[in-house]
Chains A and B, each alone.
Chain A
């Protein structure tokens, strides 16, 4: 054997050993959450460092996230140990591709969440992991323009519009901010806030007369909305830059504003309409793919993620709240305190009208959202007639509901079979 062969042999031996070690060592936590670099880093250093095994936390856009997962399923062999994503992402999956996590002996503290996690089957498809919601936030300078007699913790939509109008007049330009950008969560505002508040429903009442009123009101609000909103996706940026004074967004998409300048902003509940104060939770879950390389390690990691200490560390890292019963410590970041108080005020308000996440839509979740986004683009941006647009979009909605057979969810009244659009 020549020297060259010896070296080559040794090198390949080392390479194989290294590859073996690398494959053995880390559990891959493949997630769509905690996407910003700082949050991913916090997940690694503050949340997952305490687990017995090394965890490789990787966060990605939904498209790339799903593509890799599907590729592993098709290859019937995978390296992903744990999936982290929103309820809507899991509900679009084939239930057989996820391992039942109902036998781990723990669950979230909310029965609603645990039911949602079954996604219409009789097994826990994913484990509720963390939750958030949507709130309003404003620059303290804008508080002076609040209409007389209005209580910021119990605003109505009319008062919000009046407030935005006052701010518009005072600043000389519209100062309400709405996340209508390509990555903005505008559809959740319509599904969880505007529709429940005006029509006490989402699907049944999609094209009702009350819905027409709701869109008329939103049109009024839009008069005082920064037209750049169609490019806004994380309202914390516009709060900090001053492009918007009063905004609506996901709690974790406002966190940076509160953490950077806690004294400059206030968080407050979403407004109320004739049918109450509609609001909706955000639920993220963790699931084990059937192709996990190490089932025991994956299950252990799920258990670890639901421990009270881990849940609080996750809250600090991501601004998503725990789903298990925990005593929240007093030294939480300003964003968490502000958002937590606002969410508590919404759910505790006398006229609260809690909604649920769309359920049972399977892979049609995206199409369902598009019905609302399209209605927004046509009614508000293209200024088409509200009645015509709603009647037109209604046919698409009926198709989706019939195809999926999804029963109604709150605040719509329960249905036998597919939720009807009235």
Chain B
């Protein structure tokens, strides 16, 4: 086949797939969000943004992302550097660390629910150690901080691995010569990490952060399992509009708002971590 058209032929299936299963539904959703009945309107957006829970769920979603993503970034960088330095058992450790990746987010939420519940592992342990006389209900409206902490912990446990995998691959691509040269000039390990690993990892960091931040704005099942309605987030409200209130227009509007936030943050990350023109590994 002609080498000029071969690439296009190869990406054709994916393009078609995206058009049919992403672009087309997206157009439908956008149409739904901007209309009630037949005419164009912003009514759906007005409805969802003036609802008293909207600022709360927006704040909760952003707070959660702000708390979880930096910790995950630090953790995954640390873990990735450790893994690449390992001589033996590297694959085994990597497999174990990525196990949470294979668990659905609802299942992850349930696992942490089993820990934090009134009759859960944490209470049993604390009771056994004599720290508390009777089980404490951590996940109640009286302890919003604990609910937040439990959700953040579950998210960190569940989704750090996806960043780890991307960063491990990225670190593997950095040529050894840079490190050897740095060592010759007497750079400390910390300095090598700061001056070589981090800058060279930029493209991977970009990908990892974009993926992770988008997923953080879509958080739903973990919150539903651990917080129920105590911790409203944007995605949970979207679900409520669609399935409790049967208001597809408002749900579509919420979905578009989440999309807008995701696009906004993606652009910021791309801009901040951009790789200068001409520079490459």
Contact = CB atoms under 8 A, between A and B. Distances in A.
Interface of A: 61-63, 66, 92, 173, 181-182, 226-228, 230-231, 241, 243, 363, 366-367, 369-370, 374, 377-378, 381, 392
A69 B242 CA distance: 15
A366 B244 contact: yes
Interface stretch (B85-93, B134-142, B175-183, B260-268): B134-142
Given A227-B142, A243-B118, A63 B134 contact: no
Contacts of B243: 61-63
Given A173-B134, A181-B228, A182-B228, A227 B242 contact: no
B230 interface: yes
Nearest to B50: A396
Contacts of B134: 173
A377 B229 contact: yes
B127 interface: no
Given A366-B246, A366-B247, A381-B141, 9 more contacts: A63-B242, A63-B243, A92-B246, A228-B137, A230-B141, A230-B230, A366-B245, A369-B244, A370-B244
Given A63-B243, A66-B246, A227-B142, A374 B229 contact: no
25 contacts: A63-B242, A63-B243, A66-B246, A92-B246, A173-B134, A181-B229, A182-B224, A226-B137, A228-B118, A230-B230, A231-B139, A231-B228, A363-B246, A363-B247, A366-B245, A366-B247, A367-B245, A367-B247, A370-B244, A370-B245, A374-B52, A374-B53, A381-B141, A381-B230, A392-B52
Contacts of A62: 243
Given A62-B243, A63-B243, A173-B134, A227 B52 contact: no
Nearest to A241: B119
A13 B137 CA distance: 61
Contact of A228 (B140, B224, B229): B140
A374 B240 CA distance: 13
A181 B137 CA distance: 14
A241 to B, nearest CB: 8
Contacts of A367: 245, 247
A173, A181, A231, A392 — most chain B CB neighbours (10 Å): A231
Contacts of B53: 374
Given A243-B118, A374-B52, A230 B247 contact: no
Contacts of B139: 231
A173, A230, A369, A374 — most chain B CB neighbours (10 Å): A230
Contacts of B244: 366, 369-370
Contacts of A243: 118
A241 B135 CA distance: 13
A206 B141 CA distance: 25
Contact of A182 (B137, B229, B242, B246): B229
A227 B245 contact: no
Contacts of A369: 244
Interface in B212-245: 224, 228-230, 242-245
A53 B52 CA distance: 51
A164 B72 CA distance: 46
Contacts of A366: 244-247
B65 to A, nearest CB: 23
Contacts of A173: 134
A151 B85 CA distance: 75
Contacts of B142: 227
Contacts of B52: 374, 378, 392
Contacts of B245: 366-367, 370
Interface in B44-62: 52-53
List the 6 closest A-B pairs by CB distance, nearest first: A63-B243, A366-B245, A227-B140, A381-B141, A228-B137, A182-B228
